[in-house]
Structure 1
Amino acid sequence: MDNNNMFKRAALLDKQLFLTLFNCNSPKWFKTMAFGLSKSGDGGLYILVCLAVWWLSNNEQQQLLPVTILVGFAIERPIYLLAKNRFARIRPCDCLVTNAYIVPNDKFSLPSGHSAAAFLVAIILSHFFPEYIWLLLSWAAGVAISRVVLGVHFPADIIIGAIIGSVCGLFALALVVPV
């Protein structure tokens, strides 16, 4: 199979997956849950978590959490912006369906910034609070999937965003947290 055919098949699968997850007949509670998960990934929650840990923790290691997250975002945001403008992939709500449940902040979809940010934060928080790793990764996955359910991202967008965020989170941990 040549590369061009492989990319066409991947794009078709991506569209089919999108149409399966973005279903206009989904129950209201499902859309409401997706909206809540998406909102939790808007950024305000990250600031509150960092401030709470910094304020409440007596653990020197945990005091590094806010700095680690800042370093992570300092690495991730330029990569995200460069990729978003380089790929310039049109959002599914602008080319495939016309009734997304939210209005996106920009016109391009690849990668998903919500997915990148959620996984960055989940990876870093999991290092400092390993007992919550499954809860944190489940939340990040929920944020990512919600973006497809709401109609503003294709599945590939959220997968690539999750990879970018995870790698940047691990890199920030390597830079900030002593071994």
Structure 2
Amino acid sequence: MELLLKWDQQLFQLINETLHNSFAFTFFSAITNVADIAVFFLTVFFIYALISKTKAKTTKIIFNVLTPVFIVFVITVILKLIIQRPGPEAFVRPWPEFSPFPWHYAFPSGHTSRAFAFAVVLGQQLPMWRWPLLGAASLIGFSRIYIGAHFPADVIAGALLGVLVVFLFKKLHK
């Protein structure tokens, strides 16, 4: 376990410090919030579907997309509260009082888990977009390391969680 944590910190430093430049930081700072923006617009679309006249098919599609993403969000919060792993910032600049709120814990990465859940579930609906969506989710995950919000293991766990929840949801929802 000690070796895994050391590898995690070394890989974080390589990505976050060695590869760091101002243009890339600005780019990845913008990329990191794409998952939240996509979920916001999906939620707006879901509300529209509820009041739309053609809501039966639209509501079903949105339910199948939004529900796994919401489940991933809930599971991520629960895991953060159970595991309570601080992010890299806590090791660089320890906070005087570490907050008990789940968004201050790092494992697993919530942005990454939502991005992968969204990419996989949308990729199932739109197969020709599967690989670009997974590429975008990977970019979001990488951005979380690059901007210093997460260690690589947090991002890997978030990606696996997002994919796993979507596949379990699909299997149970048939």
Of Structure 1 and Structure 2, the greater helix share is in 2
Q: What interval of TM-score do these two structures reach, taking the shorter chain for normalisation?
A: 0.7 to 0.9
1:139 and 2:132 correspond: no
- 1:83 shift after superposition: 0.9
TM-score (norm 2): 0.81
Q: Which runs of 5+ in 1 are unaligned?
A: 1-6, 99-104
1: CA distance between counterparts of 2:19 and 2:10?
16
User: Aligned pair in 2 of structure 1 residues 20, 61: CA closer, same or farther (>3 Å)?
Assistant: farther
User: Aligned pair in 2 of structure 1 residues 156, 25: CA closer, same or farther (>3 Å)?
Assistant: closer
Give 1:21's aligned residue.
15
Q: Which range moves more in the overlay, 22-31 or 161-170?
A: 22-31
2: CA distance between counterparts of 1:24 and 1:16?
11
Q: Which runs of 5+ in 2 are unaligned?
A: 94-101
Q: Which range moves more in the overlay, 150-159 or 19-28?
A: 19-28
Identity of aligned residues (%): 25
TM-score (norm 1): 0.79
- 1:73 shift after superposition: 3.1
Give 2:85's aligned residue.
89
User: Aligned pair in 2 of structure 1 residues 82, 49: CA closer, same or farther (>3 Å)?
Assistant: closer
2: CA distance between counterparts of 1:90 and 1:140?
23
Q: Encode CA deviations 1:136-155: one digit per residue, 9 max, x unaligned.
A: 00000011110110001000
Give 1:35's aligned residue.
29
- 1:10 shift after superposition: 0.6
- 1:70 shift after superposition: 2.7
Q: Encode CA deviations 1:8-62: one digit per residue, 9 max, x unaligned.
A: 11110000000011127622221122111101122x322324629x86xx8x877
Contact 1:65–1:124 under 8 Å retained in 2 = no
